[in-house]
Structure formats: C-alpha cells, structure tokens
Chains A and B, each alone.
Chain A
Amino acid sequence: MEVDLLDLGKPTEAAVPLFVGLIILEILYGWKTGRIKYEGKDAFASMFMGFGSGIAGVISFLLYAGFGFWVWTEHRLFDMGSSLWVFILAFVLADFAYYWIHRLGHRVRWMWAAHVIHHSSQHYNLSTALRQTWTNFLTPNFLFFVPLYWLGIHPLIVFYCYGINLVYQFWIHTEAIDRCPKWFEYLFNTPSHHRVHHANNPKYLDANYAGVFMAWDRMFGSFIPEDREEACNYGLVNDLGTFNPLRIALHEWVGIVKDIASAKTWRDRLLFLIAPPGWTPDGSRMTSDMIKDAWRARKEAQKVAAE
C-alpha cells in the first residue's frame, strides 16, 4: 500500500499540544513531589528558544528540502516508493544519520556552535527538550541525509521520519522517570540514558548520542550507563551566565569569530572551526578529552593515596 506523501503532516507541529500538556503536568508533578525542578526564567528561555527555532527552522527546511529534492530528483539510484517498509527503513536510517550529526555536533566546534544551545540549561526537564538551535542552517547537517536520497527515499518521507524521531526525544528530557524496563533500556533511548548525555560530570561527557535506538552508541563505543553513585549535574562545562535568548543562541558563534580573528595562522583558524570545542593552539582551554583525562588522573591519584 502506497502512502500519499502530500497527506503527511509535520509531526513536530502536530505534537505541540502534547508538549504543552506534558510540560504543565510535569510542573505540577514536580511541585507536588519535589522530584523535578523548574525555574521560571530558565523555563521561559528554553521554551522561547524552541519558539525561535520553529521560526528559524523555516530557513533550515528550505535548505534541507531544496537540497534533498535536488539529490533525489537528479541523482537517486532507485525509486523506493512510499510503502510502509520504506517508512520503516527511512526511520532507521534517519536515526543513524541523526546519531552522526549529534556525535559530530559535540566534537566539531562549527556544529557545536548550533547544538550547544540545547545543552545550555542547568535544568533537566521537559522544557529543556524545547531549547533548540536557531542556527541549524549554518551547519552542514543537511548533508548527512544524502545517502537516503541517493537510495531513492523520497525527501518528504525522510523529513516525516526525522520529525517523528525529534518528537520521540521530547519525553526523555525528564527526571520523573527513573528507569524503564530492562529490554526497553537496552534497545531505546530513555530518560536515564539521556540524562547522562546532558550531564557535565567528566565521567559522562560525550556519551549517549542516540536519537531513538541505543544500538548506535553500543556499536560505536559511546554508550555510558547512568551510575546511581554519580548524580548528573546538568549544563555546560562553562555554564552560561544569562537567560537572554540572543546571547544563548549566538554565544558560541561569537566565540568562534573572536578566536578566528585573533588566530595567528590559517591552520589555527581552521582548527578553531573544526577541532573539538575547547581546543586552543596553546592548550589554555580544555576539550572534553582533556577534562576526562584530568578526571582519570585525579581518580588514579586518589586511589594511590588511599592505598
């Protein structure tokens, strides 16, 4: 059975009433139980970033759609049609593409400049899920879907499946749910796995990039389980000192421009763009790898001292 692609809606727009309802429920649940924390300005900043992301997303969508349709029309190898199994295949492949976009979004400063916004809250609640970038169109993220178009998956199917992927990720931004059933924790991204991803504890840095399927993290060595002995501390290694949405949206881009302007060589200028966040020619700032190394060294020293 073929699906009429023009009937496909936008999952992220259709889910907005659900987002609103669940956030209100979580606020009330947190107030009643004390298990979840909200802060008014932080929640406003997060949701306003989501609001702005929806507006700026129009530019990204034009870029994604224009490029996607061009590749699909001019360069596709097959025409996969629009049957149910194509949707399933598209969903899995879009999740795989998401994994790499997300992983590189933490490891390449150019891509981090857009993604950092999502990690800039020190809170972890459903409003944090909406704290999204305004500058996605400045990143090369759209290129990661090229293999899907080449295979002949229609761009509208890719966008639809990617939208469902993003909607799925909403509910995992919560401390209300401790652990899901074991089989579910093994297969899928859950609040527990994603709490680790949002934590700035050295132990948890650069882990759990999955959108929906945890298989990618398990396959590519980036899975770290939540440790009950080590509570997650949320936010950035250098937390932002503001709730101003413009400063939140642009701070890393401003940092990149400043660094490139003060760089002495073209090599350094390039590395300020593509090296991991925190990289500097003189090592005066710390990358996540350096932070983890220092943490391991401290732990080792403590162990030796205890013996």
Chain B
Amino acid sequence: MDPIQLLISFISITLMALLAAKLFPAKDILSVQSAEADYKRYDPDAQIDTTILGLDHKTALLKLKAPIEQLGIVTRLGDQLVCRTAHKGDVASFSVNGSRLLISSHDFTQPSVSIRLNPADIKSAQQLVTAFTADAEASHGS
C-alpha cells in the first residue's frame, strides 16, 4: 500500500463527489404525497390514516389504519427516501426540544430521526410515538 497512492485516491474520490454534489443538488422531495407513495411501495398492505410532515420536509410520521400496531417513518436521505416501520418497543426513547421531536431507536443505520413541527403537531406526534416506545413513561422529557 503506497501512502501517496492512497492519498491521491482519497483526494480524487472527494473531488468527484464534490462535482456530483455541485451538478446534482439534492432537491426537497419529501411531501405528504411522496411519503405516502413511498411507504405504500415499501409496505403495499399498509393503509395510511394521517401523515405528519416535518416543517423542514426531512421526516414524516405515518399513522396507519392498518396494521394499527405499526408506525410508518419516512425520512429524506440525500435525494432519496428511506422508509421504516416501527412496532411496539422499537422506539427506544423520544424527547422534545422546542419545536423538534427527537426519536431514538435500536436501528443501527438510523439510530435517531428528528422532526420539526408546529406546536399543534408536536402533541399529536408525541401521542403517536408514545405507543411505540419501549418504556413510554421513562423515555420522554421536554
């Protein structure tokens, strides 16, 4: 392993990624419609009741009519969407910081998601997430 060769490789990788980022700026792609459509692709049997979309369009929480014991979470990662289904106990904890709800889970590739909401939505989002939290009483604070 030639350190110079490694350094040149790393610099090349960085420059190519910067070029890609410059020419393909990530667009705001998360909306209620796109979140619901992608979640339906991910879980075709799901019936969506309501979708709470974050003000920054980075996260959406999906309350399901069926299966009722699941919570849908759709997040924006770069220019793509990532769907998750939480069952009871999958949410390790959550906390509210101003207008932001921070949800922590045991998911290794997505250990936490945050969603910025207006005060009215914060309350309903908290209620929704509580049902899927491992130890709801002990987990949340504000």
Contacts and interface: CB of A to CB of B under 8 A. Distances in A.
Interface residues of A, number: 42
B26 to A, nearest CB: 6
B63 to A, nearest CB: 20
B12 A40 contact: no
B14 interface: yes
Given A31-B23, A298-B44, A39 B80 contact: yes
Contacts of B20: 27, 38-40, 43-44, 127
B23 A41 contact: no
B66 interface: no
Interface in B34-49: 41, 44-45
A31 B16 CA distance: 13
A58 interface: yes
A40 B26 CA distance: 8
A242 B110 contact: yes
A40 B22 CA distance: 8
A282 B14 CA distance: 44
Interface stretch (A132-140, A150-158, A233-241): A233-241
B142 interface: no
B83 interface: yes
A95 interface: no
A39 B14 CA distance: 13
A8 interface: no
Contacts, number: 104
Given A37-B24, A40-B24, A233-B41, A241 B17 contact: no
A39 B16 contact: no
B44 A254 contact: no
A241 to B, nearest CB: 3
B77 to A, nearest CB: 6
A16 B1 contact: no
Interface in A14-45: 16, 20, 23-24, 27-28, 30-31, 37-44
A278 to B, nearest CB: 14
B118 to A, nearest CB: 25
A240 B109 contact: yes
Nearest to B113: A241
B107 interface: yes
Contact of B16 (A24, A238, A239, A250): A24
B80 A41 contact: no
B115 to A, nearest CB: 14
Q: Is the interface of A mostly helix, strand, loop or mixed?
A: helix
Interface string A245-272: 0011011001100000000000000000
Contact of A241 (B14, B22, B75, B79): B75
A47 interface: yes
A234 to B, nearest CB: 9
Contacts of A20: 12, 16
Best-surrounded residue of A30, A40, A235, A255 (most CB of chain B within 10 A): A40
Interface string A44-69: 10011001001100100000000000
A251 B24 contact: no
A51 B20 CA distance: 18
A122 B80 contact: yes
A98 to B, nearest CB: 25
A178 B6 CA distance: 34
Contacts of B22: 40
A44 B19 contact: no
Interface of A: 16, 20, 23-24, 27-28, 30-31, 37-44, 47-48, 51, 54-55, 58, 122-123, 127, 233, 235, 238-243, 247-248, 250-251, 254-255, 294-295, 298
16 contacts: A37-B79, A39-B21, A40-B20, A43-B21, A51-B9, A51-B13, A122-B77, A233-B41, A239-B82, A240-B82, A241-B84, A247-B108, A251-B108, A251-B109, A255-B108, A295-B44
